Amino acid sequence: MTVFDLDQYALFIGLDVGKSEHHATALTSNADKVYDKTLPNSEPKLQHLLTKLVTKYGPALLVVDQPATIGALPVAVAQSLDDVEVAYLPGLTMRRVADLHAGSAKTDARDAYIIAETARTMPATLRAIAASDEQIAELAVLAGFDDDLLAQTTATRNRLRGLLTQIHPGLERVIGPKLEHYGVLDALTRWPTPQALKTAGRGHVRNRIAKHNPRLATKLTEAIFEAMGAQTVVVPGTNAAATVVPMLATQLAELYAQRADIYTQVQALVDDHPLSPVLTSMPGVAVRTAARLLTEVVGKEFKTAGHLASYAGIAPTTRRSGTSIRGEFANRGGNKRLKSALFNSAFASLDHEPSRRYYDKKRAEKKTHKQAVIALARRRLDTLYAMLRDGTFYDDPTAPLVPKHFSEAA
């Protein structure tokens, strides 16, 4: 993490960002307040203000509390100007520092002042913001949208499974785990109730499923009709399900299609990035994980793997207070998107012998499954940090020798 040299700045500008307007407070190195106003979230206004302040006072450090989304424009404008450097004050740090200032009011003006004063007096709390990388910016947008689609997919699938469980539990036990197959969703769109499936008959159902999933069709069709034969009563609400089930099945199919389209674009961007072969050389790191690592790690500066682990929220938190509280506890903070990606990557790597061996070791130490996977993720992060720092491939002890630096690869 970068520690800023305060001697090179004549002005410290705190910017409390907002959707339509920001509040800016500028302090000199002697703590004199020379600017304290709101300004629109527009390039001309931002550029005019920064140029005017730099011309009058000298080099400036602009600090924002949100470097992405609504804070992306002021960051981009500042980075385009000479004599203006940009930094980021994390929200948790901001709240803690705010408690040190008199008063409890929550206003844009107060927040902007606190940001500027913190930049002037506590440079170690700031994080550097790398110059904009169009490729990383595109990945961030696509990866964020993919996260939204995943949440919608999970909610829609659970709603569909819940409705099937209500009207026919046996049928849901057969179909529910297969809802990722388009053939199953197509059949539910055409015949959404047990009675409709029975009326259609085995042949029609099998042929419908076989259009998309031929190898699954025969076995699944037999399981569907066997399950339907175990329930003869019609549960109240089945008629309404005939309306809702096709809608949910159609929505689910559309969400799958959208995620596939986004995946194609993400894959192209990841493949084009020079660090892609480094990241994907590690077992358990595929396209989506690599995209998340590129957007959340690359461009940020971390002194050690421990700093990165703390940022990701997978480093345990030590708590000690006399003799009553002693030990290490799970970290509930950190970058949740990165934490999720690292956890899922570690889980996916369990087929890899060294990862499985370490996981089994933690389980033998009476760790729960989740604790063991997080411990594995933490251990893998040490290796990943070194790979990114040195630009080296993953050194797999179970594989033949390969080039160790991405520049040596064909």
Q: Are 48 and 35 in contact (CB under 8 A)?
A: no
Please check whether residues 11 and 125 belong to one and the same domain: yes
pLDDT top residue among 332 and 75: 75
Residue 1 lies in a domain: no
Q: Select from 235, 267, 299 the last residue of a domain.
A: 267
Average pLDDT of the chain to the nearest whole number: 88
Q: Which of 89, 79, 87 is nearest to 133 (CA)?
A: 79
Q: Which residues are CB-contacts of 107 (< 8 A; sequence separation ≥ 6)?
A: none
Please check whether residues 124 and 142 belong to one and the same domain: no
Please check whether residues 344 and 325 belong to one and the same domain: yes
Beta strand pairing call for 60-64 and 84-88: parallel
Please check whether residues 198 and 251 belong to one and the same domain: yes
For the cut 60, the answer to whether the pLDDT of residue 374 exceeds it is yes
User: Which residues lie across from 114 on neighbouring strands?
Assistant: none
Q: What is the CATH number of the domain that holds 249?
A: 1.10.287
Please check whether residues 125 and 238 belong to one and the same domain: no
In this predicted structure, what is the pLDDT of residue 66?
A: 80
Region 325-336 average pLDDT: 66
In this predicted structure, what is the pLDDT of residue 401?
A: 55
Alpha-carbon dihedral angle through residues 301, 305, 306, 312, given to the nearest 10 degrees = 70
Q: How far apart are the first and last CA of the chain?
A: 33
Please check whether residues 381 and 287 belong to one and the same domain: yes
Please check whether residues 297 and 259 belong to one and the same domain: no
Window from 195-204, 350-359, 390-399 with minimum mean pLDDT:
390-399
pLDDT top residue among 406 and 251: 251
Q: Which of 396, 375, 370 is nearest to 283 (CA)?
A: 396
Q: What is the CATH number of the domain that holds 26?
A: 3.30.420.10
Q: Which helix (H) or strand (E) holds 39?
A: strand 33-40
Q: Which helix (H) or strand (E) holds 281?
A: none
Region 51-72 average pLDDT: 88
**CA–CA separation, 22 and 210 (whole Å):** 57
Please check whether residues 78 and 147 belong to one and the same domain: no
For the cut 90, the answer to whether the pLDDT of residue 134 exceeds it is no
Q: Which of 132, 122, 105 is nearest to 63 (CA)?
A: 122
**CA–CA separation, 398 and 402 (whole Å):** 12
Please check whether residues 164 and 65 belong to one and the same domain: no
Q: Are 224 and 196 in contact (CB under 8 A)?
A: no
For the cut 80, the answer to whether the pLDDT of residue 333 exceeds it is no
Please check whether residues 257 and 280 belong to one and the same domain: no
Which band of pLDDT confidence, cut at 50, 70 and 90, is reported for residue 26?
very high
For the cut 50, the answer to whether the pLDDT of residue 1 exceeds it is no
In this predicted structure, what is the pLDDT of residue 330?
A: 62
Window from 40-44, 52-56, 69-73, 144-148 with minimum mean pLDDT:
69-73
For the cut 90, the answer to whether the pLDDT of residue 148 exceeds it is yes
Window from 21-35, 37-51, 204-218, 325-339 with minimum mean pLDDT:
325-339
Q: Select from 267, 299, 321 the last residue of a domain.
A: 267
Please check whether residues 320 and 358 belong to one and the same domain: yes
For the cut 70, the answer to whether the pLDDT of residue 409 exceeds it is no
Task: Give the total number of structural domains in the chain.
Answer: 3
Q: Are 74 and 15 in contact (CB under 8 A)?
A: yes
Q: Select from 267, 296, 322 the last residue of a domain.
A: 267
Domain span at residue 86?
A: 6-132
In this predicted structure, what is the pLDDT of residue 324?
A: 54
Tally of CB atoms within 10 A around 214: 12
Please check whether residues 206 and 281 belong to one and the same domain: no
In this predicted structure, what is the pLDDT of residue 91?
A: 76
Return the CA Rg of the chain: 27
255-268 tens-digit pLDDT: 999 999 999 999 99
Window from 276-290, 306-320, 339-353 with minimum mean pLDDT:
306-320
pLDDT top residue among 317 and 319: 317
Helix (H, G, I), strand (E, B) or coil at 272: helix
For the cut 80, the answer to whether the pLDDT of residue 397 exceeds it is no
Q: Which amino acid is at 184?
A: V
Residue 374 lies in a domain: yes
Residue 70 lies in a domain: yes
Residue 186 lies in a domain: yes
DSSP, res 179: T
